Amino acid sequence: MKTIATSKGNRIERLMRGALLTGASAAAIFAASTARAQDAPAGAAPSAQSEEATETTGDIVVTGSRIKSPTLTSPSPLQAVTAEDIERTGRLDIQEVLQSNPSFGVPGQSRNTSNYGALSAGLSTVNLRGLGANRTLVLIDGRRVVAGVPGSAQVDLSMIPSSFIERVDVLTGGASAVYGSDAVAGVVNFIYRKNFEGVQLNAQTGISEQGDDNQYSANLTAGGNFADGRGNVIAYAGWSKQGAVSSASRARSRSDQTSIGALQRSNNRTDANLTAAQNLFKAQRNFSTVVPASTFNAGTANYIVDSAGTVRPFSSATDGFDRTPFDNISVPIERRNFAARANYQVSEGINFFAEGSYANTTSKGLLEPSPLVPTGALGLFRQGNGRYNIEQVVTNPANAAQSQIVRNPLVPAGLYNVATDTNGDGFRDVAVSRRLAEFGQRFAIFDRTTLRMVVGAEGKLGDKWNWDVSYNWGKTTADSRLTGLINQDRAVQALNVIQDVYDANGNGNTAEAICASAEARAQGCVPWNVYGAGKASAASIAWLGVDSTRNAVQTLDVAAANLSGSLFDLPAGAVQVALGAEYRKESSSEVFDPLSIAARNAYVQQTNTSGHFDVKELFGELVVPLIHDTPFIHSLTLRGAARMSDYSTVGTFYAWNAGVEWAPIPDIRFRGVYAHAVRAPNIGELFAAPAISISSVNDPCAGVTATSTGTTSTTCRADAGVAANIAANGVFTLSQSDLQGVGGLNVSNPNIQEESARTWTFGAVINPISIHALRNLTLTVDYYNIKLDDAIARTSRDFILQQCYLNNDPDFCSLISRRTIASGPYSAGSIQLVNSQLINSGGASTEGVDTTLSWRLPLGGATASFAASWTHLIRQGGIPLTGAAFDRSDGEINTPKDRASFSVGVDTDSFGVNFNGQYIGASYLDDQYRARFLLADGALPDKKYFRVDSAFYADMQMRFTVDKGFEFFAGVNNLLDTQPAPVITGLTGSVTGTETAAGTYDPIGRRYYSGVRLKF
């Protein structure tokens, strides 16, 4: 990893600048908020609330159950992040707050991982247990939320106003019996404020130590009662803005680079692979071979027209293009949120409620100018070797008997002289690759709006039964535009240029360059000069330039009715039941521009998708208290739930769970749940049209020679392009473009079936209320085990490559196509396409232990608090295909064996301080990747060479109560300026533009913030 030396004076100057800009002072230690155990200690002091902002309580519904009860506890592991916890992190994005909880895996989409997402920049999703965002169900007040990712069930958390949140319940383990499909890994339930009185104003600003990542936030919450307290209205308005962080602003990602070890690795059994392993986390510059001046395949070599107009052989070392100055680590985001809720008690037993929200998120991804390549599924020419003629026969339009061979007058003489006829038509030809700098940096502009409305009624039947009915509607519109692209069909015409020797356009100029096709000229074709940087005319840029567009809509309609209450009393208590019915309909559509659909804009293929489904569900839940207040059994309770779902797409299936809670004494409670959870395929998985995308791969053929032995070498050399590459270079050699420009057809599957999961959780809750000094201490320990059958998954391209070249499996080899000859920036034998389809795979599983600890105690005139959460991963992985071996991922980058977070704080009436910490255990590169570094004796290099160290992040916040209802706060996130693991380009887990695994490690660095909170 590269470092930059700085003077002590410069470092202090940066520190002082950050402190002055935010009002924060840098102090050292600890980080990241932690989630507290929901199993609140009996008799614990409640969180302080202002007299002006009070909320009522009564029967409650614990997340994971639909039964209303003031005493019900959760048999499944349940943690809560309170409004106070959120405030004490200083983070504007609720996703970042939740990510410090170790039960969450790397997010599917986040601000730090989505810059290169053509349709996802600025999205915030969550991923419980690392099983995928589609297997985490996000709710608001126990009700579903319309997806923010069209075609999926993934909710965009940026639409949730953080200051409107009372708490966030995180329930881990299958909950499909209670909430339906998608709750395979668990549920994240956002509980909004209710019955609020008063006004609360929050404002905050922040900046990183490097002077970027500017953050601003302001929001207002107001509420009050009416009709003599029978009704309440609460409204919220908020705005936030987070600035960009460029790749070039951090030393580790200042220029395009690749892991030295990844480049050195050989497919031979050789001790040279030990050296390669030792160099994995060292970087060397590796610029793109697609450059603004163009590179030309002419004859048998690659040429460039340099700034002096000289045609010479292309050198990647001196002529390559550095993409980094154009890229981002974090995308800029601006959010606008409005929300309101009202309830009115019509009578003693009936209460009407309504709530609505509007959320708009805009963001802008920044990408380097688009690369234009001559061949391939996304190339300029779909067939042949990608070459076009630079001379041709031209016939006099006024005299058909008169013709002559005419050169393209834009082609320099030096390039014409080295060009040859490669297709046998008698004319010289070349192939061009070009970085489209004249069309500007690409901007991925996103505008997402989410509307949500819930109306309903609730009430009581007698004193033992509760009922509620509701209608829930939501709509997400996601519009995006990517600039800096071209119309490739027009580009083909604009490269077909001749000298107008017969004055075809009648302007009297027979020396000018014109488009050769009369039809193209009639449409406005303008010759495109690609023979050097900055040569294209403004007219040709206007003729060729296009944007890609996408308009997507996702809707959700849910009608639900619930009834819960007590059936009868047993000696140990009332037998409680909940029954309900739900009807849900989801629809989604994505519409793209014609060039995106045809893959003719020098980007990727994006195709229209539309689909819908509906589901009718019946569900029930039962809680039976068996024994109470007997020796060794303070309480013993059984519980169960079941749900029948009838989908219009996959038919009828069932989900259920059974649990037990046993407290031998009031201080200790044991709990366990077995659940059968189900997830139906979503709209995108069923109905998405095939589309071609670009991805990075690790080519197993890299390093193969003419004499290397083994299945991999034999299978690779059987390809004519690979053999030609070896003959030319002595070893199969690949460029950066070869590894990062691999296309592939992504195919959905209308015949895919639902996946199911078997989940076990067993644990204990210890709250020693009988010991006065420890009565506010709670310790929970829970074992979890989730096994997915028929998991819906897309076979990874790396797995397809491994099965072909390591095992010579013809079924997988048929999904791969390679280039037979060199073309543009691509080498002979390089991978052109790897196709992949969604399947019901062999399954996936995860197993581990969660431990949480919280303690709150008086300390003189102050209150001290401590909370910690630790997850130890025992085993995690998946079976890519039925019958394949289980591929373990636990302990690898993005799935560390151990993650923990803690928070410690002290509060008085006028001052408060807290330190938060987050620990990420040491991790390793993918074991399948390590298996490619075979030594001469068949052994592998020591695992230590594939290891990244553990990381510890620390945050701090101080709060000052200046006057009643007026609080000033200031803080530092990533206080120790912990640098991210050096997961360099070329290594598994690296996020483009960040040079690290940006979903796991903080890629920004130390940040300061300050703000005020006003309550009236």
Q: What pLDDT digit, counting tens, does each position of 911-962 carry?
A: 999 999 999 999 999 998 999 899 999 999 999 999 999 999 999 999 999 8
Residue 136: burial class (beta carbons within 10 Å; 0-12, 13-18, 19+) = buried
Rounded distance, CA 760 to CA 174, Å? 9
Q: Which helix or strand (DSSP H or E) is residue 262 part of?
A: helix 260-264
Could you tell me which of 404, 361, 593 has the C-alpha nearest to residue 486? 593
Whether 21 shows a pLDDT value over 60: the answer reads no
Rounded distance, CA 1013 to CA 968, Å? 6
Rounded distance, CA 134 to CA 125, Å? 9
Structure tokens at 233: 């209205």
β 328-330/333-347 pair status: unpaired
Residue 827: burial class (beta carbons within 10 Å; 0-12, 13-18, 19+) = buried
Kindly state whether residue 34 falls inside one of the protein's structural domains. no
Rounded distance, CA 326 to CA 322, Å? 9
554: Cβ contacts below 8 Å, ≥ 6 apart: 146, 147, 148, 149, 150, 151, 475, 476, 478, 586, 587, 588
Rounded distance, CA 903 to CA 100, Å? 11
**pLDDT for res 62:** 80
Range name among 382-391, 494-503, 640-649 with the lowest pLDDT average: 382-391
Q: What are phi and psi for residue 504, nearest 5 degrees?
A: -65, -30
Q: What are phi and psi for residue 860, nearest 5 degrees?
A: 65, -125
Residue 898 Cα to chain centre, angstroms: 21
Whether 901 shows a pLDDT value over 70: the answer reads yes
Structure tokens at 724: 């030609």
Kindly state whether residue 270 falls inside one of the protein's structural domains. no
424: Cβ contacts below 8 Å, ≥ 6 apart: none
Q: Is 432 within 8 Å of 374 (Cβ atoms)?
A: yes
Is 881 in the same domain as 807? no
Q: Which helix or strand (DSSP H or E) is residue 594 part of?
A: helix 594-598
Q: How confident is the model at residue 12 (pLDDT cuts 50, 70, 90)?
A: very low
Is 866 in the same domain as 972? yes
Could you tell me which of 466, 461, 486 has the C-alpha nearest to residue 579? 466
Span 205-221, pLDDT tens digits: 999 999 999 999 999 99
Q: Which helix or strand (DSSP H or E) is residue 435 part of?
A: strand 429-435
Rounded distance, CA 959 to CA 19, Å? 16
CB count in 10 Å sphere of residue 790: 18
199: Cβ contacts below 8 Å, ≥ 6 apart: 52, 220, 221, 222, 1014, 1015, 1016
Rounded distance, CA 547 to CA 543, Å? 12
Could you tell me which of 360, 563, 558 has the C-alpha nearest to residue 455? 558
Span 347-359, pLDDT tens digits: 888 999 999 999 9
**pLDDT for res 739:** 74
Q: How confident is the model at residue 70 (pLDDT cuts 50, 70, 90)?
A: low
Rounded distance, CA 660 to CA 68, Å? 18
> Could you tell me the end-to-end alpha-carbon distance of the chain, in angstroms, rounded to an integer?
51
Q: What is the mean pLDDT of the chain?
A: 89
Rounded distance, CA 280 to CA 550, Å? 39
Rounded distance, CA 271 to CA 273, Å? 5
Residue 124 to residues 138, 362, 363, 482, Cα–Cα distance (Å): 12, 13, 12, 20
Q: Is 989 within 8 Å of 894 (Cβ atoms)?
A: yes
Rounded distance, CA 395 to CA 645, Å? 71
Residue 960: burial class (beta carbons within 10 Å; 0-12, 13-18, 19+) = middle
Please state the pTM of the whole predicted model.
0.87
Kindly state whether residue 38 falls inside one of the protein's structural domains. no
Q: How confident is the model at residue 603 (pLDDT cuts 50, 70, 90)?
A: confident
Span 604-618, pLDDT tens digits: 888 898 999 999 999
Could you tell me which of 422, 430, 433, 429 has the C-alpha nearest to residue 378? 433
Is 554 in the same domain as 520? no
Q: Domain ends where: 536, 571, 604?
A: 536
Residue 922: burial class (beta carbons within 10 Å; 0-12, 13-18, 19+) = middle
Structure tokens at 23: 């009002």
Is 903 in the same domain as 858? yes
Rounded distance, CA 808 to CA 803, Å? 7
Rounded distance, CA 89 to CA 273, Å? 45
Residues 153-181: what's their mean pLDDT? 90
Whether 792 shows a pLDDT value over 70: the answer reads yes
Query: What is the percent of the chain where pLDDT is above 90?
Result: 71
Rounded distance, CA 838 to CA 686, Å? 9
Q: How confident is the model at residue 586 (pLDDT cuts 50, 70, 90)?
A: very high
Is 239 in the same domain as 377? no
Kindly state whether residue 32 falls inside one of the protein's structural domains. no
Is 785 in the same domain as 699? no
Q: Which helix or strand (DSSP H or E) is residue 276 part of?
A: helix 272-278
Helix (H, G, I), strand (E, B) or coil at 927: helix
Is 652 in the same domain as 637? yes
Highest mean pLDDT among 118-132, 240-254, 680-694, 817-831: 240-254
Kindly state whether residue 277 falls inside one of the protein's structural domains. no
Residue 12: burial class (beta carbons within 10 Å; 0-12, 13-18, 19+) = exposed
Q: Domain ends where: 776, 807, 836?
A: 836
Rounded distance, CA 815 to CA 637, Å? 54
Whether 11 shows a pLDDT value over 60: the answer reads no
Is 716 in the same domain as 851? no
Rounded distance, CA 215 to CA 889, Å? 35
Is 622 in the same domain as 669? yes
Q: Is 795 within 8 Å of 834 (Cβ atoms)?
A: no
Helix (H, G, I), strand (E, B) or coil at 82: strand
- For 339-387, the DSSP string reads EEEEEEEEETTEEEEEEEEEEEEEEEEEEPPPEE-SSSTTSS-SSTTS-
Rounded distance, CA 1000 to CA 918, Å? 11
β 545-570/465-486 pair status: antiparallel
- What phi-psi label fits residue 885: left (phi over 0), alpha (psi between -120 and 50 degrees) or beta? beta
Rounded distance, CA 378 to CA 599, Å? 6
Is 718 in the same domain as 571? no
Rounded distance, CA 994 to CA 987, Å? 12
Kindly state whether residue 581 falls inside one of the protein's structural domains. yes
Is 612 in the same domain as 672? yes
Rounded distance, CA 925 to CA 921, Å? 13
Is 467 in the same domain as 616? yes
Whether 41 shows a pLDDT value over 60: the answer reads no
Residue 934 Cα to chain centre, angstroms: 33
Could you tell me which of 550, 438, 447, 533 has the C-alpha nearest to residue 485? 438
Residue 396: burial class (beta carbons within 10 Å; 0-12, 13-18, 19+) = middle
Span 49-62, pLDDT tens digits: 322 333 334 566 78
Range name among 3-12, 547-556, 818-827 with the lowest pLDDT average: 3-12
Q: How confident is the model at residue 326 (pLDDT cuts 50, 70, 90)?
A: very high
Domain range for residue 464? 61-249+329-368+445-482+550-681+753-795+841-1015
Whether 13 shows a pLDDT value over 60: the answer reads no
The residues that bridge with 389 in the sheet, in sequence order, are 429
Whether 69 shows a pLDDT value over 90: the answer reads no
629: Cβ contacts below 8 Å, ≥ 6 apart: 635
Amino acid at 553: V
530: Cβ contacts below 8 Å, ≥ 6 apart: 294, 410, 432, 434, 495, 536
Residue whose token pair is 């009436």: 909
Rounded distance, CA 403 to CA 399, Å? 8
857: Cβ contacts below 8 Å, ≥ 6 apart: 773, 776, 863, 864, 865
**pLDDT for res 71:** 62
Domain of residue 866, CATH code: 2.40.170.20
291: Cβ contacts below 8 Å, ≥ 6 apart: 304, 319, 320, 321, 433, 434, 435, 533
Rounded distance, CA 853 to CA 860, Å? 22
Rounded distance, CA 339 to CA 359, Å? 8
Amino acid at 686: L
Q: Is 684 within 8 Å of 586 (Cβ atoms)?
A: no
Kindly state whether residue 961 falls inside one of the protein's structural domains. yes
Domain count, the chain: 3
Kindly state whether residue 281 falls inside one of the protein's structural domains. no
Residue whose token pair is 């013809």: 810
